[in-house]
Structure 1
Amino acid sequence: MNLQSKQLVLGIDGGGSTTRAALAVVAETFEFHVAGRGTAGASNFNSSVWEVATEQVQLAIQRAFESAGTEPHRVAAVCLGMSGAGRTAEQQAWMRWAKESGVAEQASVVTDAETVLAAGTPEGRGVALIAGTGSLAFGTNAAGQVARAGGWGYLLGDEGSGYQITLAALRGIARAVDGRGPDTRLQPAFLEALDLNDPRALIGWLYHTERERSEIAGLSHLVFEAAEQGDALARTILQQAIFELRDLVQSVVSQLSFSSSDYALALTGGVLLHQRDFRVSLLERLREQELQPTTIECVDDASLGAVRLAIKGLQAE
């Protein structure tokens, strides 16, 4: 395949668990088709070291070129939609990396929520809700105003995320062991999954210095399974997570003055994409609050939104 640099753009979706890159060929009309895709590990450098984050982005880009059947080379534009890049310092760091790496002639850095919005809503207007390793709601209206709720990180926030769901389960297990809370199916489920014999061994597992947040969040599926089996604690944890995510959406809708049924909703993150009943329950809670969106889109690859934003940058030249 003969791909010229001026025909190519890269869209990067850098998350707390996975990094995705999409290599797209852009026509003169600015329509595009994806020529290659690549995936790698987490690239949120607020939860991993900078060198590892940049290595994962570079690896995803390399794999995207490989899947297109061509060697990596400089493209016309790249948009990096990065988890944890909601502040100027992080955005500047990624811009410096893009310049020093020579990945593209033109570069832009946005949050991962902005790429979800671009991928999952008409003309990039509406609300994006992320619930994966972390959580965040972000939106923009027709006037170009932007708003966000959440995104405070795993110590201050991430309500409704896989990470916080798992932590709530572990706290429930600790209370049950102490006799401060009810027995729960979560205890044997977590011990079996982690190959542990003593619930107090969960302390060493959780506080291990190399334990990744994504690994902790990945255990949230045990809570969903326990809830399906009728465990009261698991059901309570998930109900609370739904309320937290509803409140994130409600906050952004209010800040942007969207009227009832007057906004598009884009959903992404493992918790929302892979747990259908949980997602349906969230939409029901929104409906009860008269916050039913006009359209709902599940976004499983926000790198396509990053491609669209990269192309917008070319159009603006």
Structure 2
Amino acid sequence: MGAVSGSAPGIVIAVDGGGSKTDAVALDLDGTVLASARGTTSSPHIIGMGAAADLVDELIASLVQQTGDRPIVQTNIYLSGLDLPAELAAFGEHIAGLPWAGAVVDNDLFALLRAGTSEPDAVAVVCGTGINCVGVRSDGAVVRYPSLGMSSGDWGGGWHLGEQALWHAARAVDGRGPSTALVQAIPAVYGLESVQDVIEALHFERIPNSDLALISPAVFDAARAGDGVAIGLVDRQAEEIVVFAVTTLRRLGLLDRPTPVVLGGGVIGARDARLMQAIEEGLADRAPLAHIELVTAAPILGAGLLALEAAGADADALERARGELGARQAALPVG
């Protein structure tokens, strides 16, 4: 990663990796953003633990090069797919020996949570390619979930919406299920003629299984047009988000006090009116003291703030970083 000058002022590194992209930034201790880099997904569930560590290392090396080999005083890394203690340990083994091996490493939900609130009692739900939730309490208690899909009780996010939409479309075609506009909408997503074409393309791996997530916008479009099957899927997604949040609030004993529920991820970020209304109504009914904080900024904002806080930055530095990361967000390079 190049020679490091001991007399140069130190920098703070923050990395946030999700299901589709990974953002990294270098910041001065006063909160000034010095450099940024972007890569593809770094989720170990998608590309493997070794590849995830390699990608993060490449991004950090790019930041160090951009900042003139200034020494790193703090590194915080938050990745989708680091859900279990064994996964965190495995990532630690893969980065052992690297200059940033002492980094704070955790799930990307913590970056989302910090992007949405600085409150010590809070819950965050991400609904993007998949779905996950985390909750924290001022005394240090944490509630988290394995987030391994159906096997760990999870349902939701773009992939599950796409998978279920295709299931319904297939049954509509052969008469086992009700008719739905998804029969026409799903093939159009992939430039194909029929649901059968999509099924065969998935079976023969001409379409990657992960690309089922591409169907989810069509589900919301169909629901807005009044399609009953799509409406059912959107309502189910809202219910899953509410259940995650309310369950976490209950497990932390926070139902009796005002608590932010931070919401983020691509599915939520699209701000579908039906989805958001159902979430708001569900929380109002089952957790009336909770209030929604919708995160529109990229979670790299939260990762940067957490890294600066760990380095001892003051309130002015955090405010500067919030402003600069928000302003530079759209300008991050595409990897």
Q: Could you say which residue in structure 2 is the equivalent of 1:206?
A: 202
Of 172, 196, 199, 2:192 maps to 196
User: Which deviates the most, 250-259 or 291-300?
Assistant: 291-300
Change (3 A) 1:276 1:188: closer
Tell whether 2:311 aligns with 1:314.
Answer: yes
Task: Please give the alpha-carbon distance, in whole angstroms, between the structure 2 residues aligned to 1:156 and 1:211.
Answer: 26
Q: Could you say which residue in structure 2 is the equivalent of 1:233?
A: 229
8 A contact 2:50–2:94 mirrored in 1: no
User: Which deviates the most, 144-153 or 201-210?
Assistant: 201-210
Residue deviations 1:111-139 (CA, integer Å, cap 9, x gap): 11112122211245300110001111111
Change (3 A) 1:126 1:299: farther
Task: Please give the alpha-carbon distance, in whole angstroms, between the structure 2 residues aligned to 1:41 and 1:3.
Answer: 32
Change (3 A) 1:154 1:306: farther
8 A contact 1:266–1:298 mirrored in 2: yes
Q: Could you say which residue in structure 1 is the equivalent of 2:211?
A: 215
Change (3 A) 1:84 1:181: same
> AA paired with 1:45?
P
Q: Could you say which residue in structure 2 is the equivalent of 1:163?
A: 159
Q: Could you say which residue in structure 1 is the equivalent of 2:32?
A: 33
8 A contact 2:115–2:297 mirrored in 1: no
- 1:165 is displaced (CA, Å) by 0.7
Change (3 A) 1:79 1:124: farther
- 1:310 is displaced (CA, Å) by 2.5
Q: Could you say which residue in structure 2 is the equivalent of 1:96?
A: 93
Q: What SS is found at the alignment partner of 1:78?
A: strand
Q: Could you say which residue in structure 2 is the equivalent of 1:304?
A: 301
- 1:55 is displaced (CA, Å) by 3.9
Task: Please give the alpha-carbon distance, in whole angstroms, between the structure 2 residues aligned to 1:99 and 1:128.
Answer: 30
- 1:174 is displaced (CA, Å) by 1.2
Change (3 A) 1:299 1:43: same
8 A contact 2:11–2:70 mirrored in 1: no
> AA paired with 1:119?
A
Q: Could you say which residue in structure 2 is the equivalent of 1:122?
A: 118
- 1:49 is displaced (CA, Å) by 2.7
> AA paired with 2:39?
A
Task: Please give the alpha-carbon distance, in whole angstroms, between the structure 2 residues aligned to 1:229 and 1:87.
Answer: 40
Q: Could you say which residue in structure 2 is the equivalent of 1:287?
A: 284
Q: Could you say which residue in structure 2 is the equivalent of 1:12?
A: 15
Task: Please give the alpha-carbon distance, in whole angstroms, between the structure 2 residues aligned to 1:4 and 1:236.
Answer: 61
Task: Please give the alpha-carbon distance, in whole angstroms, between the structure 1 residues aligned to 2:295 and 2:71.
Answer: 31
Task: Please give the alpha-carbon distance, in whole angstroms, between the structure 1 residues aligned to 2:7 and 2:108.
Answer: 28
Residue deviations 1:62-113 (CA, integer Å, cap 9, x gap): 56567xx5356652121111112122222123223444332x3741111111
8 A contact 1:266–1:299 mirrored in 2: no
- 1:298 is displaced (CA, Å) by 1.0
Change (3 A) 1:151 1:190: same
Tell whether 2:73 aligns with 1:76.
Answer: yes
Q: What SS is found at the alignment partner of 1:47?
A: helix
How many residues are aligned here? 308
Q: Could you say which residue in structure 2 is the equivalent of 1:151?
A: 147
Q: Could you say which residue in structure 1 is the equivalent of 2:333?
A: none
Task: Please give the alpha-carbon distance, in whole angstroms, between the structure 2 residues aligned to 1:5 and 1:187.
Answer: 61
Q: What SS is found at the alignment partner of 1:305?
A: helix
Of 20, 23, 27, 2:26 maps to 23
Structure 1 runs (4+) deviating above 6 angstroms are 2-5
Alignment RMSD (CA, Å): 2.7
- 1:150 is displaced (CA, Å) by 6.2
Change (3 A) 1:253 1:107: same
Q: Could you say which residue in structure 1 is the equivalent of 2:130?
A: 134
8 A contact 1:117–1:125 mirrored in 2: no
- 1:207 is displaced (CA, Å) by 3.6
- 1:4 is displaced (CA, Å) by 7.6
Structure 2 alignment gaps of length 5 or more: 314-335
8 A contact 1:78–1:307 mirrored in 2: no
